[in-house]
Every structure is written in C-alpha cells, then in structure tokens.
A and B are shown apart, each in its own frame.
Chain A
Amino acid sequence: MPDPVLEVTDLKKHYPIKKGLLRRTVGNVYAVDGISFSVAEGETLGLVGESGCGKSTAARAVMRLVEPTSGSIKLEGQEIAHLGKKELRPFRREMQIVFQDPFASLDPRMTVGDIVGEPLQVHGIARGSELADRVAGLFTQVGLRAEQMKLFPHQFSGGQRQRICIARALALNPKLIVGDEPVSALDVSIQAQVINLLVDLQQEKKLSYLFIAHDLAVVEHISHRVAVMYLGKIVEYADKKTLFSHPLHPYTEALLSAVPIPNPKIKRKKQILVGDVPSPVNPPPGCSFHTRCPHAMPRCKSEVPQLQEMSTGNWVACHLHQGGKAVAA
C-alpha cells in the first residue's frame, strides 16, 4: 500500500489571546484542535463544516501558510510540519492552493501569463521561450486561449480568473492541490464548468485534492471521502456514499437535513438546530456539539468523544456510537 499523498496526524492550531499591557495570554482560540486524516493519490477528500469550524485554518496549516501549533503533516511520507523555510521550499512544489476569491487571488499589476509562469521562474524550472511554451500549455489545459496570456486579471470574468488560478496551481506539477472554497464565489452556471475541469484534471494527472467547502452538494459530487468538522475537531470521517446516505453523527445529520433541495416535490422534515455555533474561544466542555445536539446525554457534557472506526474507513466521534456499535440513547 503506497504512502498516502497527504497524511495529517493530530494537527493543532491555537491562536493565543493576549490582553493587557504586558500582553499576557489569557486564553486560546482553538481553531484546529487535533485533527487527523489522509488523502490517497488521485483521491479527493472533502472537508466540510460551517464558519468557525477551522477548515480554512486546517488547509492553511497543511500548506504551512500558517504555522501549526503541533501535530504531524506528512507529504508523500515526508514530515514537513516543522521544516524551516529553506528545507520546505522543494516540498512547496508538491502542494499548491487555489483560493476562494478569484478577484483577490491574482496580482492586478501583472499579466496573467507572468502570474502563471512565475512559479516556474522562482524554482528555476524554465526560462524564456520554454517558459512561454509551458505557460501556453497550461492555459489550454484549463480551457483558456494562449493569446490571453498578455492580458491583465481585470479583463477576465470570475470563472476565467479561477481557471487562471488553477493554471498557476498546476504550473509546478504538484501531487496535491488544496482548494479553499474554490467554487463558492462563482456563479452557478460557471461553478459547473470549473468543477468539471477539476474532475477532468484529477483523472488525467492523478491529482489529489483537499477540497474545503461549505456547499454539501458540491462536496458530494467531487469527493471520494469526506470529513466533517465542528469547532476545530473532526466529528465524522467516512467515504462519501456512506456519509451522505447514512450519516452517523447528529451534526452531519443536521447539516444534510438543512441543505435545500432544488425539487419542490421532495418535502422533508427538517432538523432545525437550536441556537448558534458556539465560539472557538470557549468551546463547550465534553463534546462541543452537546449544546445543540437533539440526542445529548449526560455523558456528552463531560467526556470528549474520540473518533472510532465503525466500519472500514468510516469513523465517527460520538457517544451514541461506541465501540463499533450504536448505543441506544
């Protein structure tokens, strides 16, 4: 069994809150509080959750754009969580990121050809006419025309800009692409185009995706495995079909139930969660979901549930499902 492209173990990112003249640390924002997952070659892991769950922070920590507080990040079997800048540099070629905002992701003062070619220049991979050829190739791969290389970002639409961002991410031929809500800011009809492009590229190049999104329908379409995050922890981690058809964690159930279905004939009894998402500064004790959980038991208030494997590859962290079997509430 080859090494997974990405293997994350017990990743944590805490932001200290400093107050007062002496800048004393009075607390922490537990943005990411010990998560573990892996992504195999050619596979997409969808990371879902609502605002404040830590999925964006997790993505940035994996990319080392934000320094992890602790934990292990293995890229193709190599530990990169604590490498210095210089040692990290060659690994940067293996993982790239596509952001949510197609407008702010491109330097407005550079031509798009320069933007896409820059990674190749920085790593000394190509120069001059060879560089131009490679950039032209990347442009056609993402569905744009090579002549458009000379234009500036503001001359493109949102969907086209996102394609340019994808071209930039592909430039160094990475094994892993992290997508931080890459289609959320796009119009509905353009979303489909970009999603199809990502799926095609994955099949062609055996790319692995860590796909962060809040739109469950998109995640269902593009992922092979899914991890659901709540307040910095993974509460359910399973293969796509299992998670979407038989969700085990009450939060996953509520999430799925809340998604509006574009079919007026389907009338479901919705599970409306009471209250708001608690803040990651002061997460509730025990299971952080117990304040909103319709099945909360006394145990949930004091004991933090651990991720347990229910069937091969399907994990859930919930006291309702203990030791591999469901416990009557």
Chain B
Amino acid sequence: MATESETTDHSAHLAKAGANVNTRFGELLFLARRYPLGAVGAIIVIAFVFAAVFAELITVHDPLATDADMSLSAPGAHHWLGADNFGRDVYSRIVYGARISLAVGLGSTFLGCLLGVILGLVSGYMSGWVDLSVQRVIDIMQALPLLVLALVMAAALGPSLENTIIAIAIPIVPHVARVIRANTLALREQPFVEAARAVGMSDFRIAVRHVLPNTLAPLIVLGTAQLGSAILTEASLSFLGLGIPEPFPSWGRMLSESAAEYVRTAPWLVIFPGVAISLVVFGTNLMGDALRDLLDPRQRT
C-alpha cells in the first residue's frame, strides 16, 4: 500500500538516522557528518599524534642542530618555517616538540587518571571515615597551586621531564576522583552489586571486578579534555622555565625564548609555536565535546 512518495519519504528519514550503514568506513562517514566539529578535532589530534610518532620521517633537519649562518632566517625553501637565533630549524622543533607535548600530556593524564580512579573508587566504595579522609586529601590536592608546586619541585629536584609530568598530573587527580566517586556511589546500590554481596564476594573483588569497569565510561571524555589541558599546562610551565629543560624542544619554551626579544624582528618564532599549542588544545576540546555527545545515553526508541 506504500505509495511512491511514501517510500522516498522513508528513505530520507532512514538515511538521517544512519540506517543501512554496514561498513566501518560508512559508519565513520556517518559519524563525521553527524558531528562535524568533532571530526575536525579528531583530524587535528590524529595529525598531531602522527607528527609525534613519525617525526623522523617528516623532518629534514635535526631540531637540536645549530647553524649560525641561518640564524633568524625567515621561512623559506631551506627552513620551511624559518630558523631561530641559534639557526635551529623551527619546523623540526615544532614536530619534535609535538613528541614532547604528547609524552607529557599522555603521561600526566594517565598518571592523574590512575591515581584519581584509585582514590575515587576507594572513597566511594568504602564510605564512612575512609571516604571522609580521602576526600580531604583530594581537597588538599585541589588546593595546591600548580605553578607554585612546579616551582618548588623544579627548585628542589631540578627541572626534568619526569617532574613536569608529576606536577601536571596532580591537578588532574581531584577532577577524576570526584567523577569516579560519584559513579561508584551510584553503582554501589545497584542490584547486581547486592547480588555479588549475596554470593559472599569480598568487598575488594566486588569493587575491582564489578564496580570499577562500570565507572570508567566517563573517563574517555574526561581523559580527552584533560589531555588538551595538560598540554597547555606544560606549555605554560615551560614558558616560565619550570617545565621541560634543555635540550628537549618544547613549544612553551620556544615561545618564552623568542617572545620578548624577537616578536617584531622574527615573528615566525612566536607565531608557529603559538599556533601549534592553540591548534592541539582546540582539537582535543572539540573531540572531547563530540565524544561526550556521542556517548550520551539519548536513544529512546
């Protein structure tokens, strides 16, 4: 009984809903069309990761090699994005800087999430005075001013890659712990947890096998957003001289070394690292937003 217009009507609606999408590629395209900004963000992040991983393949110059003759040369055939006052190739330093930023970003995000999950899980599951004390620890961590902490660590232990990672991980911990704790509190009351107790399972087993896997979902979104934030923080710390030391190329330090002195004479030294930082943070934020919308339980049919 379906009329000609009826069937065409249906296919238009079906296409919008993403039915008849069978291949992986088709699914990706469908998602990209549904979340265009997220797709842009994802592309940026993927390019960034690619650059970090394959740095050797896409650069010509050694980022650490100095060349007095080419000092402060403008972007051109030899140095695609110009050279700094030591004659070091800006492009190579940006690409290798991506590697540093990625390492620090991932490292600190991972460390922060790990600690945050442990604290949040223990706090949420055990409740009582354990919960109260862990929450105070989290409060303390949140109260620590990041820059002061980094300064103290740099002064006491010397600036290094490891210290930077630790310093940046610390503000992430309370963020993650709060979310995980909230989820744990909710999950603890679910019948499947009660059933586990009825079987006689120990609290530890229940927390790790049943509660933990179900709390991790929001971590994907949280982690993506934190990654961008961590990279930005690293740039800030390095800008202040508290982060990544020589000779590792860091976008933040590239900025601090050139901003005051060369901004008028060699603006490329300021523009490109700045753009790199902004682009990466922008990309991770867009991707995080889209992921949040995507994973939001909205389907009702």
Contact = CB atoms under 8 A, between A and B. Distances in A.
Are A and B close enough to touch in the complex, i.e. CB under 8 Å? yes
Given A65-B198, A96-B198, A105-B195, 13 more contacts: A60-B194, A63-B198, A92-B200, A96-B199, A99-B195, A104-B190, A104-B191, A105-B191, A109-B213, A118-B199, A119-B200, A122-B200, A165-B195
Contacts of A326: none
7 contacts: A65-B194, A65-B197, A105-B195, A107-B213, A109-B213, A110-B210, A118-B196
A255 interface: no
Contact of A97 (B195, B213, B214): B195
B264 interface: no
Nearest to B205: A122
Given A104-B191, A105-B192, A107-B214, A123 B200 contact: yes
Nearest to B192: A107
Nearest to B194: A65
Contacts of B46: none
Contacts, number: 53
A101 interface: yes
Nearest to A123: B200
Interface of B: 190-192, 194-201, 205, 210, 213-214
Given A109-B213, A109-B214, A122-B205, A104 B192 contact: yes
Nearest to A90: B200
A115 to B, nearest CB: 8
A106 B192 contact: yes
Nearest to A122: B201
Interface string A88-103: 1100110111011100
Contacts of A100: 191
Given A107-B210, A107-B214, A109-B214, A99 B199 contact: no
A88 B200 contact: yes
Interface pairs A-B: 3 shortest CB-CB = A92-B200, A99-B191, A109-B213
Given A104-B190, A109-B213, A168 B200 contact: no
B216 to A, nearest CB: 9
Contacts of B192: 104-107
B210 A93 contact: no
Nearest to A172: B199
Nearest to A91: B200
B213 A99 contact: no
B199 A122 contact: yes
A119 B199 contact: yes
A4 B300 CA distance: 48
Given A109-B214, A122-B205, A99 B200 contact: no
Interface in A53-72: 60, 63, 65
A118 B196 CA distance: 9
Contacts of B195: 97, 99, 105, 165, 168
A152 B70 CA distance: 63
Most buried by A among B194, B199, B205, B214: B199
Contacts of B190: 104
A285 interface: no
B211 to A, nearest CB: 9
A59 B214 CA distance: 27
B86 to A, nearest CB: 53
Given A104-B192, A105-B191, A106-B192, A92 B214 contact: no
Nearest to B211: A107
Contact of B198 (A92, A104, A106, A108): A92
Contacts of A65: 194, 197-198
